[in-house]
Structure 1
Amino acid sequence: MKSHQDLTVYQESIDLVVITYQITKNFPPEEKFGITSQIRRSAVSIPSNIAEGAARQSKKDFSRFLYISLGSLAELETQLEISVRLEYLKKDNLLNEELIYIRRMLLKLIKNLKE
């Protein structure tokens, strides 16, 4: 592998961060340090952990960071659902397809690292 930047899952997760920032920019101002911040940090954590893991010297370490990315993805999914229930976000903006796609890519990469 040349670089984490060559990984499709990394590129897709960066795109997810951009979309996440776009959909949260109209959240209520009082949520700036609340759910808005939580959502953005969860989203940023996904590609950040992919990059950090890829920089490690072992497949085991890389895999561990990919699992952390999966955890951040689950957090993001939960926070988006909370945002829908709080009526900050419309249900069609839940990013379900993107989240599922990235989850599948992460799981496939983890599986490939174990082989």
Structure 2
Amino acid sequence: MTGASDLLPVPALLGYLLREPANTPTHAVALGVAAAVIPIAMVIVTDRVTDLLYTWIPDLVGFDGYARWWIFAVLTGIGLLVWKLPGHGGPDPATAGLVGPPDPAPLAPLAGGWHSPSARV
């Protein structure tokens, strides 16, 4: 049985970044490059997928890509993917604080809240 490192070779720069302390200039440069390249790549991928869904596929089949039924079908299909695939699109922010115990207030003693020992005097 092979491990993950056997399947995907780690580039030398990534290995260097993982071995060195996080406060080196190399980490700052790598973080800056990633912060610049990742959003640009996301915009390019989004543009290509939009062209695929609303131009290439409709032209291939022979209908208008902006027909109401096609937009409804695409959005319904994406909704079903998000619903049925693992992860379900992430946690629901509307119910994040409503399910489970409340989060502790770690800053209450600093602000003189009722948790501080001086408030109980």
Q: Same fold (TM over 0.5)?
A: no
Over alpha carbons, which structure has the higher Rg? 2
Instruction: Please state which band the TM-score falls in when normalised by the shorter chain.
Output: under 0.3
TM-score (norm 1): 0.28
- Bigger relative contact order, structure 1 or 2, given CA contacts below 8 A and separation 6+? 1
